[in-house]
Amino acid sequence: MHASPASATPDLMLLTRTGCHLCEQAREVLRRVAGDFGLPWREESVDGDPEREHRFGEELPVLFVDGVQRDFWQIDETRLRRLLAAGKA
C-alpha cells in the first residue's frame, strides 16, 4: 500500500532477526531519521516465519517504505532522509 499525497505518513517497516548486529545498526539509523522527521516506524522479525526467512534471510535487515523494499544490510541514511524530505518515500 502506498501513501497518499501530501499529508499521508509513510509506512516505515524494518525487517530483522534476533541476534543480528546489522539489524541493531539499522535500528539506530531508523530511530534517528524517523525521530528527526517525527515519523513512527515498526519492526517485524523473520524469526518463526519460514517464508520470510527464506525470502529475506540473506538480506537482513531490510527496510520497507510504503511496502517497497528500499535498503538491505545497511540503511543509507542520506538516501532515506532525501526520500522522506521529498515526500516520495
For the stretch 7-20, pLDDT in tens is 589 999 999 999 99
Beta-sheet pairing, 68-72 with 42-45: unpaired
Sign of CA dihedral 77, 42, 32, 85: positive
Query: Helix (H, G, I), strand (E, B), or coil: what is residue 79?
Result: helix
The reported pTM is: 0.87
Structure confidence at residue 88 as a pLDDT band (50, 70, 90): low
Structure confidence at residue 4 as a pLDDT band (50, 70, 90): very low
Question: pLDDT digits over 50-87, tens only?
Answer: 999 999 999 999 999 999 999 999 999 999 999 999 88
Q: Alpha helix (H) ranges present in the chain?
A: 21-37, 50-56, 77-86
Nearest partner of 17 among 27, 2, 6, 28, judged by Cα: 27
8 Å CB contact between 22 and 73: yes
Give residue limits of the domains in the chain: 29-86
